[in-house]
């Protein structure tokens, strides 16, 4: 009995990024306002398009890295391998699959939490928690998230004049 071929992590991650980016582009086409407004301010369509483009570039890089590694390792034989990765190091580990599951569940909790506790608090909890899950020291995760939140607030609130989502608890804080 043949075993099912395992998809290497870099290839599957690259294809996943490209797939999510394509879905984001499909949904963003329904946004009627332009991507860039007349004053150079980004419109509501700019962010999903910019993120999708970055995800396509990153996904292409990851998938291309796998192709390059395969070609490099089989350059001497003169043939490109038809099977996927045969080493366990190229395959997503069980811990990696668990991290993806935790990320999906955390994202499902995070998105509605923005409505209740606001963008800043929910993002701080989500990002810090995910970094700690990925074995970043707690103080480094908290400091990094805090720095990013300050950058996001300065960029969106003060530079672009865009109000970040406030939650129902903000009136008590």
Q: How far is CA 13 from CA 19, 26, 75, 156, in A?
A: 10, 20, 24, 30
**Tens of pLDDT along 2-23?**
555 666 777 777 888 888 888 8
Q: Where are the domains of the chain?
A: 7-92, 93-173
What is the pLDDT, as a whole number, of residue 90? 47
What is the pLDDT, as a whole number, of residue 83? 55
pLDDT above 60: residue 162: yes
CA distance 105 to 115: 17
- Which residue has better confidence, 79 or 26? 26
Q: Give CA 74 to chain center in angstroms.
A: 32
pLDDT above 90: residue 137: yes
- Which residue has better confidence, 126 or 29? 126
The token pair at 86 is 């045969």
Mean pLDDT, residues 128-132 taken together: 92
- Out of 61-65, 77-81, 141-145, pick the least confident: 77-81
**Tens of pLDDT along 66-84?**
888 777 777 656 555 555 5
Question: Rg of the chain over CA atoms, in angstroms?
Answer: 20
Tell which residue, 87, 126, 62, has the closest CA to residue 5.
87
pLDDT above 80: residue 171: no
What is the pLDDT, as a whole number, of residue 37? 56
Contact 113, 142 (CB under 8 A): no
Mean pLDDT, residues 159-171 taken together: 76
């Amino acid at each position: 009995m043949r075993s099912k071929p395992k998809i290497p992590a870099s290839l599957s991650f690259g294809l996943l990024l490209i797939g999510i980016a394509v879905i984001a582009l499909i949904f963003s086409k329904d946004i009627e306002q332009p991507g860039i407004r007349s004053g150079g301010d980004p419109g509501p369509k700019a962010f999903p398009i910019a993120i999708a483009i970055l995800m396509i570039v990153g996904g292409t890089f990851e998938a291309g890295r796998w192709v390059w590694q395969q070609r490099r390792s089989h350059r001497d034989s003169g043939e490109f391998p038809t099977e996927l990765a045969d080493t366990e190091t190229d395959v997503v580990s069980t811990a990696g699959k668990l991290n993806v599951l935790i990320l999906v569940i955390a994202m499902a909790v995070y998105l509605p939490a923005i409505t209740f506790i606001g963008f800043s608090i929910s993002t701080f909890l989500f990002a810090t928690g995910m970094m700690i899950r990925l074995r970043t020291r707690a103080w480094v995760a908290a400091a990094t998230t805090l720095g990013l939140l300050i950058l996001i607030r300065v960029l969106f609130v003060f530079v672009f004049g865009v109000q970040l989502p406030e939650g129902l608890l903000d009136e008590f804080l």
